[in-house]
Amino acid sequence: MHAIKERFSETLSKNFSDSPSSQMPDQKPEARPYTNEGKSILSFILPSAGLDWFRSNNRNNEEFGEHVSVRGLSQNNESSPCVENGEPGSRRSTCSSTDVFEDAADSYSFEKTMPNLTVESLFISPDLYEFFDSSLPNIVKGCQWVLIYSTVRHGISLRTLIRKSADLSGPCLLITGDKQGAVFGGLLECPLKPTAKRKYQGTNQTFVFTTIYGEPRLFRPTGANRYFYLCLNDLIALGGGANFALRLNEDLLSGTSGPCETFGNLCLAHDQEFELKNVELWGFTHVSQYLN
């Protein structure tokens, strides 16, 4: 076949060279095959050569077309607002469910880290809860924490706090804080019983605490006196001597704190006189009692 192509090429070249119209008067005839951009005329006449060239170009076009299609699909997916794990083209959207997942995670975290709290507290963090769990009397270990009183839920009233304390008996935890972020309070006994005169109540299980030092810190009775706490109609105070360790005024909007011989504590708040940031009173009960 190769020999036939060469003979056919020579014949065509000879015919073109002998043609009168292909010569100029002052030029010698020159045999040269017809070309089109570097391709011999044979590629147009012989079927096999033209077919190979056509297949080659068609294959290049198909590859180019596939490349465009893939890029176009990728761009469309990248513009989609919903992706999974940062990968385009995901079938499952996470753009509208982030808040739901976060709420579920918060709820799970609350139940896992503070399992005995019946409701959330404005003051008790997981770290503070763990601190109390190791500091409270053994009699309340494993009990449910019941919110007896909260200024947010029940209004700002010392009388209401005292009245609500009658719902449970046994140790109760008074928690409050100042506007600068310190959390402090102490352990009392429910129900709270106001006295007409300044008569101290409580036992050596009474304590005061604060987070003013960057982490929870507890002050138990030193034995210097038995001034554990006072409950009057116009105040609640823990400790005694030169100062109250903590005093809450009747309006539950302000209070004082200072060094106290009863607990050997320093000031529990940022300042000795401060504005209160809410007040909570927590009681403790076994699960069966709480359900009944």
Q: What is the pLDDT of residues 73-91, one digit of tens each?
A: 333 444 434 333 444 444 4
Tokens of 199: 């008569």
Rounded to 10 deg, the angle between the 126-135 and 98-113 helix axes is: 10
Tokens of 147: 């919110």
Tell me the chain's radius of gyration from C-alpha atoms: 46
Residue 247 has a pLDDT of 98
Nearest C-alpha neighbor of 165 from the set 193, 197, 190: 190
142: left (phi over 0), alpha (psi -120 to 50) or beta: left
Nearest C-alpha neighbor of 89 from the set 104, 103, 75: 75
Average pLDDT value over all residues in the chain: 75
CB environment 84-113: b (16+ within 10 A), e (fewer): eeeeeeeeeeeeeeeeeeeeeeeeeeeeee
**Which tens digit of pLDDT belongs to each residue from 116-144?**
898 999 999 999 999 999 999 999 988 99
**Which tens digit of pLDDT belongs to each residue from 9-40?**
565 555 545 544 444 444 444 444 444 444 44
Q: Is the pLDDT of residue 95 over 90?
A: no
Q: Which alpha helices (H) appear in 31-168, and where do they start and end?
A: 42-45, 47-78, 98-113, 126-135, 151-154, 158-164
| d(C-alpha 14, C-alpha 278), whole Å | 112
| d(C-alpha 238, C-alpha 189), whole Å | 12
Predicted TM-score (pTM) of this structure? 0.62
Q: Is the pLDDT of residue 189 over 50?
A: yes
